Homo-oligomer: A and B are copies of this chain.
Amino acid sequence: MSNTLENLLSAVASGEITVQNALQSLEKNSFVDLGYAKPDLDRDRRQGATEVIYGEGKTAEQIIGICQALIGAGKERVLITRVSPEKSQIIAEQLNDYSYYDEARVGLVGGFPQDRTQGMVLIAAAGTSDLPVAEEAALTAEFLGNTVERCYDVGVSGLHRLLAHEDTLRKARAIVVVAGMEGALPSVVGGLVSCPVIAVPTSVGYGASFGGIAALLGMLNSCASGVSVVNIDNGFGAGYQASLINHIAENASQEA
């Protein structure tokens, strides 16, 4: 912000723009006020990624409104997470080039980008029931331009299934590990690789899994060193974080 500020101050000092215009320029243009929401149009520049819409707790109408505001402001594609099939159907009727991924409950306007990173993001999941969360992570990372591989049902009670994929694990620039129940998979994966592991606890389980608390605590207490954690069932956040890591490396590679 101070950068922008300095430029603006210079422009004001030189008389290029008036005080009032400078003021408006600072406060406007960076978001649209829809009343119920203020979609952020400036995130590309500020954070390197279009705003993604969290669909839960918003009506189909609100989602459509925000999409239209983003598209109207020149965005090519929009990702919407946590969309129910019912809402999705309403959205599909109002927006062009919209597709829906029902396992992950993810909607997409404008399709996936063609260009993908050199580096690869791996999504690993412990059990069949963890797939919805894993797919949310995978689709998010693909939306953000990453090359993505998947490795599912490799829980720690059958180690040979995981060890059979050790080569793939070692090739990734970032690994998202999705697991419910005791959440032990990130610790085992973290001990095998030298890239960052983003652990996602899922609410899969019953009784003393307490809706994912057991997995969350397990991951926070991981005895492996390169593991960080996102919220329970937050596939989006893990895919996003993995993408940031992958792009940091991609950018470093391109600048070199």
Contacts and interface: CB of A to CB of B under 8 A. Distances in A.
Given A128-B58, A173-B248, A248-B195, A153 B37 contact: yes
Contact of A22 (B9, B36, B57, B222): B9
Contact of A57 (B2, B129, B213, B253): B129
B223 A228 contact: no
A164 to B, nearest CB: 4
A160 interface: yes
Contacts of A36: 128, 131, 152-153
Contact of A222 (B161, B182, B216): B182
A148 to B, nearest CB: 15
A207 interface: yes
Nearest to A207: B232
A156 B154 CA distance: 15
Nearest to A43: B158
Nearest to A173: B248
B217 A182 contact: yes
Interface stretch (A87-95, A107-115, A183-191): A183-191
Contacts of A192: 1, 46, 159
Copies of this protein in the assembly total 8
Given A156-B191, A208-B231, A237-B228, A181 B222 contact: yes
Given A23-B5, A193-B47, A245-B196, A188 B221 contact: no
Of A23, A36, A191, A250, the most chain B CB neighbours within 10 A belong to A191
B58 A157 contact: no
A245 B244 CA distance: 10
Contacts of A201: 207
A167 interface: yes
The 3 closest A-B pairs by CB, nearest first: A207-B232, A57-B129, A184-B184
25 contacts: A3-B170, A9-B23, A12-B12, A13-B19, A35-B152, A48-B194, A56-B206, A57-B129, A119-B252, A156-B156, A157-B191, A157-B224, A182-B184, A182-B222, A195-B244, A207-B231, A207-B232, A208-B216, A208-B217, A218-B218, A225-B237, A225-B240, A226-B240, A248-B249, A249-B249
Given A182-B182, A182-B221, A220-B232, 5 more contacts: A40-B161, A47-B226, A184-B218, A188-B188, A217-B217
